[in-house]
Amino acid sequence: MQYKASYYTRAVVDGPWTLLFNGVTSGLMRLPRDLSDEVAPFLGPPRSNAAGRGLAEWDPPHFAVDQLPPALREVFPEFVRGRFFVPADEDEIAFLRRRNEFTRRNDPFLVTITTTLDCNFDCYYCYEDKSPVYLSRERCDQILAYVARQIEAKGHAKLYTDWYGGEPMLNPDAIEYFSARAIDFCERKGIGYSSAMISNGTHWPEDASGFARRNRLNHVQITLDGPARHHNARRGFKPGHEQEETSFDVVVATIDRLLGSTRIYLRINVDPGVGRAALELVDLFVDHGWLAPGARLYPYLAPIGPMTEHCGFIGASEKFQRFQDDFEEIKREFQRLVAAHMDPKGLEHLQIYPATRRMNCAAVGDNSVVFGPDGMMYKCGLDVGIAERAFDTLPPVNDGPPLERRGSPFVILKETPAVGSKAHPYHAYDPFTHERCSQCQYLPICMGGCPKTQFEGNDFYLARRSAYWENNFDDLIRVYAEGAAAGG
Amino acid sequence: MADKPDKAASKQLVPVRLVRERKPGAKGGAARLWVKEPESQVEDPSLLAARLCSCSDVCLAVIEDR
């Protein structure tokens, strides 16, 4: 049999070592100089770090195993297992396409539930159009019935729920009500249940751990906007929602109470004003034991950007555009600081490693749905609240009591004819025919990124996508290898 | 209820070549080379991670289960 180097194998020099990565398997080897020298002639011509082109010109040498030097021949089966080398007649794009189609048809059953679009914050960059509609128990029953039908029809082995808002903890009753019934249903059916939540961390009960355990919260994502002086200026309580302590102190106290009972992803939003001050947080993490073994807290930086039309002004801001290069540098520094405290298992959760993506987003899979609090059904959480982006809606129910309880002047729109009129065709998303993605060496680890930004031509993100891999890939691999070596 | 993939679909989607699965540590001298073991390419729905998003810059969601 003849072999060739995979187009998705990339060699990264790291001091005396060569790190050999494959984007299809996520496999990473660290080769000593002698072995690296022996492998090099078979890896094909030297490749630049350019994204978005190259496959058409890719023409690595073909060889048989008995042509390899003895030392390389001995370990060659491992190189094949990692897909650093593939059979010479293999069409790698066809392989990735089949894997992507299989994943989209069989991806885990994932139900995102928006308990309300209401929020006790009023962040300047918010991407949602807030409304005081709250998920009612009747809606919960409808969603449960939908879940049961899907499980019966498709035989899912596990149900994943993701609580979303607004601030989902403004409506804990819906979470407790739904979770108890969903867990009971799954146990009776003999299938698994796991849940997660995206929360601002300021509306949790004293027994936060009990709430997490009772509702099977496998992980929670909480957000800080840098250190206290920046966070409180951006994520302060809006009038009528004030608490005794500052928003920053309340979030920190919530994390302290949750620590160890669930995995916590700590998103640190960074805008040009926060900048390098985000790095100051690492000391706080250490002081609070958040990076200690067993804490299971994983912080990461994210830029403030125009995620939806609602905050589109950010994309037009020169200040934000200019900040992007600085952000990448700050992010790299932050990753190094945090990775130094992590064991290899922790590193897996830090989102440093460019792992392979069988599909890029649950929105393009067959088995995920996002429910708005009013029963609208979406594919993407960023679309929630925009009826035109919904693909379907649950039948009307009497949503009266929750609204009356909160004294809202708003009326829930029942089946509006606009539903679905501007829904993105997530099911038809296809990076394999995309002019640049199909040619890109980073395709298996990127898959074109966020499909919503592709559909909407969101240049703020799209323009940076290729540059991100070109500027960061090699360093991401080195940071991971360094952390794994230190921890392992 | 056990997960039952669509058999016809699975048949159609058999990968070009399945790489034999091995247990880590069962590879003699090559084991020392791995920093991160490769992920299985076997098409088995139960091996698929629940992952909401892969682009944390844009999306708020970081859902995964592995």
Cis peptide before A166 (omega within 30 of 0): yes
What is the H or E stretch that residue A369 is in? strand A368-371
Q: Given this model, what pLDDT does residue A92 score?
A: 97
Conformational region of residue A362, where left means phi above 0, alpha means psi within -120 to 50, and beta covers everything else: alpha
- Mark yes or no for CB contact B2/A157 under 8 Å: yes
Q: Could you give the CA distance from residue A368 to residue A361 in angstroms, rounded to a whole number?
A: 10
User: Hey, what amino acid is at B24?
Assistant: P
pLDDT tens for each residue of A247-276? 999 999 999 999 999 999 999 999 999 999
Mean pLDDT of A319-337: 89
- Higher-scoring residue by pLDDT: A127, A44: A44
The CA angle B30-B35-B37, to the nearest 5 degrees, is: 75
Q: Work out the pLDDT band at A406, boundaries 50, 70, 90.
A: very low
Q: Which residue does chain B place closest to A79, by CA atoms?
A: B30
Residue B14 has pLDDT above 90, yes or no: no
Q: 318-357 in A: which are within 8 Å (CB) of B?
A: 348, 351, 353, 355-357
Poorest-confidence range of A79-88, A425-434, B21-30? Answer: B21-30
Model pLDDT, residue A488: 54
Tell whether the model's pLDDT for residue A409 goes beyond 70: no
Scanning every residue of chain A, which has its alpha carbon at the shortest distance from the alpha carbon of B63? A196
Query: What tens digit of pLDDT does each residue of A130-186 get?
Result: 788 999 999 999 999 999 999 999 999 999 999 999 999 999 999 999 999 999 999
More confident position, B14 or A385: A385
pLDDT of B2 reads 38
Q: What SS3 class is residue A286?
A: helix
- Chain B residues whose CB is inside 8 A of the A83 CB are 19, 38, 41
Give the C-alpha distances (Å, rounded to integers) separating A264 from A130, A134, A211: 25, 25, 14
Round the average pLDDT of chain A to a whole number and report it.
91
> Within the 17-46 window of chain B, which residues sit less than 8 Å (CB to CB) from chain A?
17, 19-20, 22, 27, 29-30, 33-39, 41, 43, 45-46
Return the pLDDT at A407: 42
Pick from A30, A157, A361: CB nearest B33: A30
Strand stretches in chain B, DSSP E: 34-36
Cβ–Cβ under 8 Å, residues A148 and A188: no
pLDDT of amino acid A392: 93
pLDDT at B7: 40
Check residue B56 and give its pLDDT.
65
Alpha-carbon distance values, A234 to A164, A278, A303, A358 (Å) = 20, 14, 14, 36
The stretch A62-68 carries a mean pLDDT of 97
Surface of A (391-430) touching B: CB under 8 A: none
A235 close to B (CB below 8 A)? no
Q: In this model, does residue A99 exceed pLDDT 80?
A: yes
Closest-CA distance, A314 to chain B, in angstroms, reads 13
As a whole number of angstroms, the distance between CA A67 and CA A73 comes to: 8
Instruction: Please tell me whether the interface predicted TM-score (ipTM) of this complex is above 0.85.
Output: no
Task: Indicate the pLDDT class of residue A318, thresholds 50, 70 and 90.
Answer: confident
Over pLDDT 70: what percentage of chain A? 95
Confidence tier at B43 by pLDDT (50, 70, 90)? confident
pLDDT of amino acid A190: 96
Q: What is the pTM of this model?
A: 0.87
> Quick one: how far is CA A321 from the chain centroid?
22
Q: Residues of A with CB below 8 A from B38's CB?
A: 22, 25-27, 81-83
Residue with tokens 């449960």: A144
Start-to-end C-alpha separation, chain B: 20
List the single residue in A with minimal CA-CA distance to B36. Answer: A28
Report yes or no: B47 at the A interface, CB cutoff 8 Å: no
**CA nearest to A121, candidates A167, A175, A165, A173:** A167
Position B9 pLDDT exceeds 80: no
pLDDT the model gives residue A149: 96
Q: Does A457 touch chain B (CB under 8 A)?
A: no
Query: Chain A partners of B47 at a C-beta cutoff of 8 Å?
Result: none
- Dist CA A334 CA A268 (whole Å): 10
- The answer to whether A106 faces chain B, any CB pair under 8 Å, is yes
Tell me how close the Cα of B40 comes to any Cα of chain A, in angstroms: 7
Residues in A closer than 8 angstroms to B24, CB to CB, are none
**Cβ neighbours of residue A267 closer than 8 Å, sequence gap 6 or more:** A221, A222, A223, A224, A299, A300, A302, B56, B60, B62
| Mean pLDDT score, A242-247 | 96
Per-residue pLDDT, A479: 87
CA dihedral sign of residues A419, A420, A422, A423:
positive
- Comparing A225-229, A275-279, A447-451, B8-12, which segment has the lowest mean pLDDT? B8-12
DSSP β-bridge partners for residue A219: A196, A263
A450 versus B24: the higher-pLDDT residue is A450
Region A473-486: mean pLDDT is 87
Contact state of A26 with B52 under an 8 Å Cβ cutoff: no
Edge to edge, the sheet with strand A9-14 lists A9-14, A17-22, A28-31, B34-36
| B1–A22 CB contact, under 8 Å | no
Mean pLDDT of A365-381: 95
- CA A305, A337, A330, A350 dihedral sign is negative
Tell me what percent of the residues of chain A surpass a pLDDT of 90. 74
Which amino acid belongs to residue A136?
Answer: S
Q: What element of type H or E holds A269?
A: strand A263-270
> For residue B62, with 0-12 CB atoms within 10 Å meaning exposed, 13-18 middle and 19 or more buried, which class applies?
buried
Instruction: Check A382 against B59: CB less than 8 A apart.
Output: yes
Residues 6+ apart with CB under 8 A from A199: A163, A165, A167, A168, A169, A220, A221, A222
Joined tokens for residue B12: 């159609």
Q: What does the pLDDT read at residue B58?
A: 60
pLDDT of residue A394: 92
Q: Residue A30's closest chain B neighbor by CA?
A: B33
Q: Is the pLDDT of residue B1 over 90?
A: no
